[in-house]
Amino acid sequence: MLVKSGMSSARVPGSACMRSMEASEIARLIKESIPDAEVVIAIGNSLNQHATFGYREGLFANRTLIHINISEMEIDKAYKADYALVSDAKPALIALIDALQQKVGPRPPARVDHRDYEARLLLPLPGGIHPGKMAQMMGRMLPPHGIVLADAGAHLAWLGYFLELADGQNFRKPGTFGPMAGHVNGAIGLKLAHPDRAVVVGCGDGCYSLSGFELMTAVEHSLPIIWIIFNDGEFKLIKLYQMSAFMETGLVEFQNPDFAAYARACYADGYTVETLEEFERAFAAALASKRPSVIDAKITRLALPHYSPSPEGTIAGILEMIEARFRGGGL
């Protein structure tokens, strides 16, 4: 059985903490596991365009799809579920496990072969910090009960793959709609609601520039939120989409201001970091300072999040796209 979810538990087995799973990660899972999977349980997943290779037909053919989602509207929207449960993830899983336990009795703990989101080797690349390594570091340094929010963009994928959480910590991404900067600002409300928990935003430079002036609100109300800007000087996700659709890109690279100087001009703390070691020091200082802080992290443009346009894998997906171009249509 394959449990394929929009949210999955992380470091602590059976924990309630959630890790977001991205389309490409699902792609990898599907490639590695779905060929043999008889049952797919989708938890908190909308089975939207990005998670399903553009609503690919037959994705769940010949297998049982169990769809758990808190919103009834998501059920049967794109794929007909064989069984559906309208519920928040945690009570649904507890109920399912209870029911299964009664049916099958005690079982030995599942064997976990590997957790490659944390252990996967990330080779150093020139041109700045590796965003995957930075996401790993964020997970390792996040205080107990800390919350990480991601915005829309490639940085979300890095956080989705590599941020490992412990029980009681949370990660939230901007959902199916994916509004840029939604969490640059949303962090302020979250911090007010949870003043005792560390609130950290992992945002792109494009997202931050969309409404980073809200920093003044955090300063005004002394809200110690930490914004970590994945600064690559581009709309990386859009660049990737342009590349996969047109094999060329345009109008997606831009110059940024000195975000750390900007933060200081707003009476917040600002850090500029160009190496992982500098990031570690800056993040530790920002966590300790209890002050609104912006960390401008210069990341390499060369790191590409795992992305596959096909459940058969990256190469097969590229071949499919080339074939579609020859036929004169899009995918």
Q: Which stretches of the chain bind ligand TPP, using CB under 6 A? A: 152-155, 178-180, 204-207, 230, 232, 234-238
Would you say 87 or 256 has its CB closer to Mg ion? 256
Would you say 68 or 273 has its CB closer to ligand TPP? 273
CA–CA dist 88, 213 (Å, integer): 34
Would you say 22 or 232 has its CB closer to Mg ion? 232
Cβ–Cβ under 8 Å, residues 115 and 96: no
Nearest approach in angstroms of CB 105 to ligand TPP is 47
Out of 25, 151, 214, 232, the only residue in the binding site for Mg ion (CB under 5 A) is 232
Closest CA to 231 of 188, 270, 199, 284: 270
Contact region for Mg ion (CB under 5 A) — 5-13, 34-42, 202-210, 217-225?
202-210
- Asked whether position 204 contacts Mg ion by CB under 5 A, the answer is yes
The phi and psi torsions of 131 (rounded to 5 degrees) equal -65, -30
Nearest approach in angstroms of CB 262 to ligand TPP is 16
Which letter does DSSP use for residue 272 in this model?
Answer: E
Would you say 81 or 201 has its CB closer to Mg ion? 201
Partners of 149 in beta bridges: 172, 201
Burial 269-298 (b: 16+ CB within 10 A, else e): bbbbbeebebbbebbeebbeeebbbbbbbb
Would you say 89 or 154 has its CB closer to ligand TPP? 154
Nearest approach in angstroms of CB 38 to Mg ion is 40
Contacts of 292 (CB under 8 A, 6+ apart): 215, 218, 219, 222, 223, 224, 225, 226, 263, 268, 269
Cβ–Cβ under 8 Å, residues 157 and 305: yes
Compute the C-alpha angle 159/162/69, nearest 5°: 65
Nearest approach in angstroms of CB 251 to ligand TPP is 11
- Comparing every residue's Cβ against Mg ion, the nearest one is 204
CA–CA dist 263, 265 (Å, integer): 5
Nearest approach in angstroms of CB 75 to Mg ion is 34
- Comparing every residue's Cβ against ligand TPP, the nearest one is 204
Would you say 139 or 212 has its CB closer to ligand TPP? 212
Out of 25, 151, 164, 205, the only residue in the binding site for Mg ion (CB under 5 A) is 205
Contact region for Mg ion (CB under 5 A) — 68-76, 171-179, 188-196, 203-211?
203-211
**Residues in touch with Mg ion (CB under 5 A):** 204-206, 232, 236
